[in-house]
Amino acid sequence: MDFSIETKLFVQNPRKSELGSIRLAGSIRASAGLPMSNMRVLGSYAIVYVVAGGGVYRDARGNAAKVRAGDLITIFPEIAHAYGPERGQTWSEIYIVFDGLVFDLWRKRKLLDPDRAVRHIAPVEYWFRRWQEVVDRPEEVGADDALASLCRLQQALADAFTRERSMSMREQDRTWLATACTLLDASREAEEKLVSSVAETLNMSYANFRKKFTQLMGLPPARYRMRRVMDHACELMFQQGLTNKELARRCGFCDEFHFSRRFKQLVGVSPREFRRQLPGASLENHSHQPATF
């Protein structure tokens, strides 16, 4: 794999959000890694994605693994570790250092797992760009921007772990699932109509499509679709002056009341409450919203 990667610092000591922050991020061409003889404790979470080359990873829990291009290393705050290329060699990487309560919850639910410190996520060029898109936003400097980047990181991690699981499937199933997800993501039709439409496109009955998708993805197609829609809605919340009516239209809902109800079901709070929890947000900034939200 030969594509452009340079030694570059994307993020250094940004502002924090209430849920956490990305503290440091960058890319390194031809890194020498960390000395195997001197493990370090970082004090934060981090991911290191190996873009080229290979080497080893070790930690104080006794985990040891060979590392190659396409491997994602997860670092935990209190676990001493070391990683890097073999002696006399180098590798290239992109890294993100982060912390916050939201990632403690990920760890509690085993979404971040010290026993799975190394995962293989391919293709390399695509995932290098995904990690880069999370942090390479020079115009973002405020607390609201910190929360936005935190949401992007969570989405990228979720997509990466889903991708890892799908890679263990048969090639035929991987291709089928990728096609199904693309079709679900591309449409703005209502949920049930959309799932039926995608099933018909794939020459399957609604019931068989729903069953196969749920088995491969781990959740039903309508819920997958709605999660993606609500992720998009949360991103749109950061745009100043966007009303619930505008959000409903952009997310494919027939009206703002249906949107608000579904948002609360899946996110856990109403759009109004979500805005209130944004750093620096005030209710006055959203006084044009209906009082029931």
Q: Which of 116, 136, 156 is the last residue of a domain?
A: 136
Sign of CA dihedral 230, 217, 164, 43: positive
Is residue 144 in some structural domain? no
pLDDT string in tens for the chain (293-residue length): 445 678 888 877 666 777 888 999 999 998 888 777 789 999 999 999 999 999 999 999 989 999 999 999 999 999 999 999 988 888 999 999 999 999 999 999 888 999 999 999 988 988 999 999 998 876 555 556 778 888 899 999 999 988 777 666 677 887 898 899 989 887 665 565 788 889 999 999 999 999 999 888 878 898 888 888 887 787 777 665 678 888 888 877 878 888 888 888 777 778 887 777 665 554 344 333 332 22
Tell me the whole-structure pTM to 2 decimals: 0.59
Say whether both 253 and 211 belong to one domain: no
Q: How many helices (H) and strands (E) does the chain have?
A: 10, 9
63, 115 Cβ separation under 8 angstroms: yes
pLDDT for the residue numbered 288: 34
| Residue from 167, 192, 188 nearest 177 by CA | 167
Say whether both 211 and 99 belong to one domain: no
Strands across the sheet with 64-68, in order?
A: 64-68, 54-59, 81-85
Is residue 232 in some structural domain? no
Is residue 46 in some structural domain? yes
Say whether both 79 and 190 belong to one domain: no
Instruction: Check which CATH number belongs to the domain holding 43 and give it.
Output: 2.60.120.10
Q: What Rg value do the Cα atoms of the chain yield, rounded?
A: 21
Give the chain's length: 293
- List the domain range (segments joined by +) for residue 212: 171-223
- Count of the separate structural domains present in the chain: 3
Say whether both 262 and 205 belong to one domain: no
Instruction: Check which CATH number belongs to the domain holding 244 and give it.
Output: 1.10.10
Decide the pairing of beta strands 81-85 and 54-59: antiparallel
| Residue from 234, 247, 228, 230 nearest 288 by CA | 247
Reply yes or no: is the peptide bond before residue 138 cis, omega within 30 of 0. no
For 226-255, write each residue's pLDDT tens digit.
888 887 787 777 665 678 888 888 877 878
| Residue from 52, 44, 35 nearest 11 by CA | 44
| Residue from 271, 272, 177, 184 nearest 226 by CA | 184
Cα separation, 101 vs 151, in Å, equals 13
Cα separation, 102 vs 163, in Å, equals 21
Say whether both 13 and 124 belong to one domain: yes
Is residue 72 in some structural domain? yes
Say whether both 132 and 214 belong to one domain: no
Is residue 155 in some structural domain? no
Is residue 192 in some structural domain? yes
Say whether both 180 and 255 belong to one domain: no
| CA distance to 54, 84, 164, 212, per residue, from 127 (Å) | 16, 20, 12, 26
For 63-115, write each residue's pLDDT tens digit.
999 999 999 999 999 999 999 998 888 899 999 999 999 999 999 988 899 99
